[in-house]
Amino acid sequence: MEPGSLLHFFIVEGYLWDWLTAAAGIVINLVVPAKALTPLKRFYNTTDMTLSYPARSSSVPSSALYVLVFVLPAVVFMVAAVVKRSGGGLVDWHHAALSIAEGFALATGFKRWTNLVGVLRPNWLAVLRTNDDGEIEDSRLAYPSGHSAYMFFSMTIVSLYILGKLELLSRPSQLLFLKSVLAVAPIALALFVAVSRIADYKHSPADVNAGW
């Protein structure tokens, strides 16, 4: 883009303000519930078997989660832009990336503020025995599942993006079933990550259902 057209794109068409609004929402949602507020200290019983699961490592750690949530969509959008081979490809990539930023702003709002109800993780009693203050505080934030919320917002956008690029709903084409599988594959990946949180005793099914 020329400098003048870039200025028009971000200022006149308003995308700069969309980015700033999304960024403000993300910062507020990540900082305020964690720093200015504390989750409810819910009553629990040390004989409660639903809180007595062992502490296990995550099948999908946070580092891998954020690669899946942000890097994977960026790569998919970039491949589509390269295949398009036109100036519109960059604009298309921008719009898709902005959708991820806006989705993350909404997802963090839903997750971080709802976390303040203080629902305990299934491995709560095992975490208590570690005497790790950071882990203990994190274990009060089970509802809703962040892995589920973040994966499903991101992969839903990617699935819809692929659905549109393959024109599955606009015209019949060859390889329809293969294209359909490609379109729903991101949702399947999100489902795998969500279910892993139950398998790892990080969340109950209710936490995961709320997240997705």
Give tens-digit pLDDT for 143-198.
999 999 999 999 999 999 999 888 887 776 778 888 889 999 999 999 999 999 99
Query: In 3-state terms, what secondary structure has residue 1?
Result: coil
CA-based angle 191:71:3, to the nearest 5? 140
User: Taken in order 136, 128, 197, 210, is the CA torsion positive or negative?
Assistant: negative
pLDDT tens profile 3-43: 456 666 666 667 888 999 999 999 999 999 988 888 999 99
Q: Does 2 score more than 60 pLDDT?
A: no
Please give the pLDDT value at position 53: 96
First CA to last CA across the chain, in angstroms?
Answer: 38
Which structural domain, as residue segments, surrounds residue 99? 3-211
Do residues 123 and 56 touch, judged by C-beta distance below 8 A?
Answer: yes
- Is residue 113 within 8 Å of 39, Cβ to Cβ? no
The answer, yes or no, to whether residue 1 has pLDDT greater than 70, is no
Per-residue DSSP letters for 38-50? Answer: --------TT-GG
The band of 204, judged by pLDDT with boundaries at 50, 70 and 90, is very high
Amino acid making up residue 104: F
Domain count, the chain: 1
- The full DSSP string for 22-79 is HHHHHHHHHHIIIII---------TT-GGG-PPP---SS-HHHHHIIIIIHHHHHHHH
